[in-house]
Amino acid sequence: MNQQKKTSILSLTVVVAALGYFVDIYDLLIFGIIRIPSLKELGLTADEITTKGEWILSAQMAGLLIGGILWGIWGDKKGRVKVLFGSILIYSIANICNGFVQTVEQYTAIRFLAGIGLAGELGAGITLVAELLPKEKRGIGTSIVAGFGVLGAAVAFLIKEEFHWRTCYFIGGGLGILLLLLRISVLESGMYHRMNAADVKKGRFLMLFSSRERFTKYIKSIFIGLPTWLVIGILITFSSEFGKQFGITGDVDPGRSIMYAYIGLALGDITIGLVSQWLKSRKKALYIFYALTFISMLLYFTTQWNGTPGWMYTLCFFLGFSIGFWAIFVTVGAEQFGTNLRATAATTVPNFVRGLLPLILLLFKEIRGISNVGYVNGAIITSAIVMAVSTIAVITLPETFHKDLNYEEL
């Protein structure tokens, strides 16, 4: 019997993948949540907390970019499950080490290492779930993984409220080590076993660039996810700075902003999975959520002058819900390519999106530095550019809802 047909949406593989992404998100976002108290304790000034914070975040994202390539190739050559083991071990150890940092240089280096480890979790998990579930269910399955996983951000904030920032890192690393025990019983996908038994080129990253059609699909698969990290990496992570620019009375806690955004993101991930199944289309669901992203950005930039922190958190929730297309975005990346390149694509695509955040931050920095543009207008222009690029990409990308994934790239 085909392995896909006897795998349920709530199988052990789906549950463990969801738990893995939960820990991944906790560890991925913990720096953004504790950025201010941790850097303040290391002796940085208010300006340095912003500039050095951008630098450390960029180092983490650069690690994700490099790790995405390494883990993606490994996932196709050696299997999806091995990537799930290796990646979580590296980022768990890195987060434990983060609890001992004493300088910005140490902080930066270890967040870079954590980024490399964090790069393998989502792509390998989504690939495994997509290959195990029948095509009628895989959109819901990957949405469950992403929807539950992003709640790790909310838990990270709640733990930050109760514990010292160093302890937050220790807890994240400990959760990862515990998850390794659950991973022991997870099985490799049947598609991978069948492909592995054949004489097929596997995990060749350059194959993504060897054909114009593959290269075009690959680049577009990356571009459709850019709004997610534009929102998380700039509008949410630096909501404290935007709050001051907006004239909000009272301090905005970026950790709380991240928590509300990711609660919204969790709901959005589940919702878009259901919408995609109802419409029987990935692209139509993406169009709807792109429209919601545009509306949420419009509200963020125009309606909260002289508001309160509570209004900022409400808008962060709506922004988070609107970028809930992250689950479908990663699923589309996996569905575009054959089994021998699927893990490479599905792992590198979301990590290239994350890894492009430093370039988006640089673009934002350069635009706001232009005379008479300023911080808020710089963010508006940056957002407009990113949304335009992403919209063109999703319009021209092939639909994959009904696509059979049991094939190889030649």
Residues 357 and 58: their CA atoms lie apart, in Å, by 7
- Spatial contact of 94 and 24, defined as CB atoms under 8 Å apart: no
- Spatial contact of 83 and 120, defined as CB atoms under 8 Å apart: yes
Alpha carbon separation from 275 to 5, 184, 283, 292 (Å, rounded): 22, 34, 11, 14
Token pair 């929807």 is found at: 147
Q: Which two tokens stand for residue 152?
A: 């790790």
**CB atoms < 10 A from the CB of 225, how many?**
26
pLDDT of residue 65: 85
Q: Is 237 exposed, middle or buried (0-12, 13-18, 19+ CB in 10 A)?
A: buried
Which domains does the chain carry? Answer: 3-186+205-396 (1.20.1250.20)
pLDDT of residue 1: 40
Alpha carbon separation from 53 to 59, 104, 300, 359 (Å, rounded): 10, 9, 22, 15
Residues 247 and 311: their CA atoms lie apart, in Å, by 12
Token pair 């988006």 is found at: 360
Q: What is the pTM of this model?
A: 0.79
Which parts of the chain sit beneath pLDDT 70? 1-9, 185-203, 304-306
Assign 3-state DSSP to the chain and report helix, strand, coil percentages, each to 5: 80, 0, 20
What confidence tens digit (pLDDT) does each residue in 175-207 have?
A: 988 888 877 766 555 565 565 555 666 667 788
Alpha carbon separation from 68 to 121, 124, 248, 349 (Å, rounded): 9, 10, 38, 8
- Spatial contact of 322 and 295, defined as CB atoms under 8 Å apart: yes
pLDDT of residue 303: 77
**CB atoms < 10 A from the CB of 402, how many?**
11
Residues 33 and 156: their CA atoms lie apart, in Å, by 8
**CB atoms < 10 A from the CB of 359, how many?**
11
pLDDT of residue 327: 78
Residues 122 and 118: their CA atoms lie apart, in Å, by 8
